[in-house]
Amino acid sequence: MNAQLANWDDLRVFLAVARAGSLSGAARRLGVNHSTVFRRIAGLEETLDVRLFERLPNGYALTPAGEETLGIVESIEDGVATLNRTVTGKDLRLSGSVRITAVDMLAFWLLPDHLARFRAAYPRIEISLAVGNETLDLSRRETDIALRIGNTPPETLVGRRVGQLRFAVYGAPDYCAAHPDTELAAHTWIGLDGGHAPLTRRFAQFLPGVRPAIRSNSVACTVRLAKAGLGLAALPCAIAERKPDLIRVADLPDSFALDLWLLTHEDLRHTARIRAVLDFLAPALGTALMSDPDGV
């Protein structure tokens, strides 16, 4: 009766010796004592009743049977790697923390309701929602997921385009009542500065030569400033349409629209809880963006 391999883990040790060429080298790779490796290989050879290695003064060399074994064990290793990659962490009992970064308007008004629903589904995943800048955060792992406005993301990031963010001109009712029949260019404009280049560029194309008298580096502030009646502002419809105290004053051309991306780093995309957040938010945000009348 053929011997049966009783401890599959001996194959992992075999692999290390085959690759390192010595017991000592394999021990370093495995993080165990070289005498342990010695005994594991001896046990494996006894179990299989075959000499897998030639004992040389400067190390261990594979025998022909050992080379045949190596081929088989490498396919086993592929299976283990597949297991580690595809199964690890795949569990609704997920826990841990996920950090999401978005510009403030998305962080304040778009994400919270969706995150509330996400937490209902995954009560053990903690969410850290950061209002702030973009590229560096993901590259330096200071955040896990970024909700990014723009066009094409950097190549080091992976993710998906969840939809389009459409814009329109909004103003407070009081302000609008106080400025009837006024040309758009003659209005007081609330604009952005400090890091919102795509939006400021589009505004300059829309109203050339018009310098916004009211400016902020915070999109949320521009929304609140508009609500306060300080002027008109180009605001994302998905947010402004839901504010009863903002009136849609004028449309903006389709070229004003920006893509909305949900991004993470290449190394994190297989992390279960990161995937859970991405998988939940992508369709939710896409639906939210499409529910805007211009979204059709």
Q: Is 25 in the site for DNA (CB under 7 A)?
A: yes
Residues in region 24-63 near a second copy by CB under 8 A: 48-51, 63
Residues in region 241-270 near a second copy by CB under 8 A: 270
Q: Is 58 in the site for DNA (CB under 7 A)?
A: yes
Query: Exactly one of 56, 87, 177, 290 binds a second copy (CB under 8 A); which one?
Result: 87
Among a second copy, DNA, none, what binds residue 33 when CB lies within 5 to 8 Å by partner kind?
DNA
Residues in region 4-23 near a second copy by CB under 8 A: 4-5, 7-9, 11-12
Contact letters (x/-) for DNA, 59-78, by CB under 7 A? xx------------------
Q: How many binding residues for DNA (CB under 7 A)?
A: 18
DSSP string, the chain: -----S-THHHHHHHHHHHHSSHHHHHHHHTS-HHHHHHHHHHHHHHHTS--EEEETTEEEE-HHHHHHHHHHHHHHHHHHHHHHHTTT--SS--EEEEEEE-HHIIIIIHHHHHHHHHHH-TTEEEEEEE---HHHHHTTS-SEEEEEESSPPTTEEEEEEEEE-EEEEE-HHHHHHSTT--GGGS-EEEE-SS-HHHHHHHHHHSTTPPPSEEES-HHHHHHHHHTTS-EEEEEHHHHTT-TT-EEEEE--GGG-EEEEEEEEGGGTT-HHHHHHHHHHHHHHHHHHHTSGGG-
Q: Is 269 in the site for DNA (CB under 7 A)?
A: no
Q: Is 139 in the site for a second copy (CB under 8 A)?
A: no
Site residues (vs a second copy, CB under 8 A): 1-5, 7-9, 11-12, 48-51, 63, 65, 68-69, 72-73, 75-76, 79-80, 82-91, 93-94, 270-272
Could you list the residues that contact DNA (CB under 7 A)? 22-25, 31-36, 38-40, 55, 57-60
